[in-house]
């Protein structure tokens, strides 16, 4: 567990203040999935430490009382993730895993994904699913290549924080594992707004289980 010094706290406070100015809301299920994943990785004590630091930074939140179907600023789950990463010394690998766990541990996500009869249908329904969870931006299905076993998705969203890109890769990877029924999934972010591109583009490769 990393020591969060005063300089780091001040940097976090400024970054969260910036995030909170960005418009856009998401379902509280997104924030709830973060909490569940943090609890799985770091235990109940870990959740408490996140609450304590959030309060110290001026953003008190009771993580145990977050519902599923409400709406809240999308900055909240990002802020919680950043605070957790500093407290526990998470690497990019941990943030990727947080995205995976958010899907694995979400009953709502599992129920939603069961409605799709095929990966291609899930691919086509991607924009509708995005609108179900976010009131900003969009998710566009670009290409589905069944022969070469890859698909391309594009997201257009506010520039929140680079860690969101890593989290998103993990989130998409786990969804793909559910949809395609295989653990052999690879997700690449080939375009990114933080690298000067006009949008984020993800290429998801899959292969059959041997």
Each residue's pLDDT tens digit, 10-48: 999 999 999 999 999 999 988 998 898 999 999 999 999
| Phi, psi (degrees; rounded to nearest 5) at 185 | -125, 140
* Residues spanned by the domain of 42: 6-90
More confident residue, 1 or 69: 69
pTM score of the predicted model: 0.90
Shared-domain flag, residues 68 and 121: no
User: 85 lies in a domain?
Assistant: yes
Name, in order, each residue with C-beta under 8 angstroms of 114's C-beta and a sequence gap of 6 or more.
Answer: none
User: 111 lies in a domain?
Assistant: no
Name, in order, each residue with C-beta under 8 angstroms of 85's C-beta and a sequence gap of 6 or more.
Answer: 94, 95, 163
User: 126 lies in a domain?
Assistant: yes
Which stretch of DSSP H or E encloses residue 191?
strand 185-191
Q: What is the mean pLDDT of residues 61-75?
A: 90
Using an 8 Å Cβ cutoff, are 38 and 98 in contact?
A: yes
Predicted pLDDT at 114: 61
Q: Is the pLDDT of residue 183 over 90?
A: yes
Cross-strand bridge partners of residue 206? 185
User: 69 lies in a domain?
Assistant: yes
Q: Is the pLDDT of residue 210 over 50?
A: no
Long-range contacts from 39-43, C-beta under 8 angstroms, 24+ separation: 40/101, 40/105, 41/88, 41/94, 41/97, 41/98, 41/101, 42/84, 42/88
Average pLDDT of the chain, as a whole number: 91
Give the whole-number percent of the chain exceeding pLDDT 70: 92
Shared-domain flag, residues 122 and 196: yes
Give the whole-number percent of the chain exceeding pLDDT 90: 71
How many structural domains comprise the chain? Answer: 2
In total, the chain counts a number of residues equal to 210
Predicted pLDDT at 69: 84
Shared-domain flag, residues 86 and 120: no
Shared-domain flag, residues 186 and 134: yes
Shared-domain flag, residues 124 and 172: yes
Rounded distance, CA 11 to CA 1, Å?
19
Tens digit of pLDDT for each residue in 106-153? 655 665 666 655 888 889 988 988 998 899 999 999 999 999 999 999
Predicted pLDDT at 181: 86
Shared-domain flag, residues 56 and 125: no
Rounded distance, CA 205 to CA 187, Å?
6
* Token pair belonging to 49: 């430490």
């Amino acid at each position: 567990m990393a020591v969060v010094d005063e300089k780091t706290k001040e940097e976090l406070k400024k970054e969260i203040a910036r995030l909170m100015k960005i418009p856009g809301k998401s379902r509280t299920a997104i924030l709830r999935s973060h909490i569940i994943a943090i609890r799985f990785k770091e235990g109940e004590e870990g959740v408490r430490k996140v609450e304590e630091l959030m309060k110290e930074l001026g953003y008190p939140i009771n993580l145990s009382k977050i519902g599923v179907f409400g709406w809240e600023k999308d900055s909240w789950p990002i802020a919680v993730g950043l605070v957790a990463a500093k407290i526990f010394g998470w690497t990019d690998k941990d943030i990727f895993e947080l995205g995976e766990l958010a899907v694995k541990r979400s009953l709502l996500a599992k129920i939603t994904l069961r409605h799709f009869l095929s990966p291609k249908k899930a691919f086509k329904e991607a924009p509708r699913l995005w609108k179900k969870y976010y009131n900003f931006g969009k998710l566009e299905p670009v290409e589905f290549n069944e022969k070469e076993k890859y698909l391309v998705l594009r997201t257009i969203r506010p520039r929140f924080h680079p860690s969101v890109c890593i989290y998103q890769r993990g989130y998409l990877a786990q969804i793909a594992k559910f949809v395609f029924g295989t653990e052999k999934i690879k997700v690449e972010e080939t375009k990114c707004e933080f690298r000067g591109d006009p949008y984020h583009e993800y290429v998801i490769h899959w292969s059959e289980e041997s």
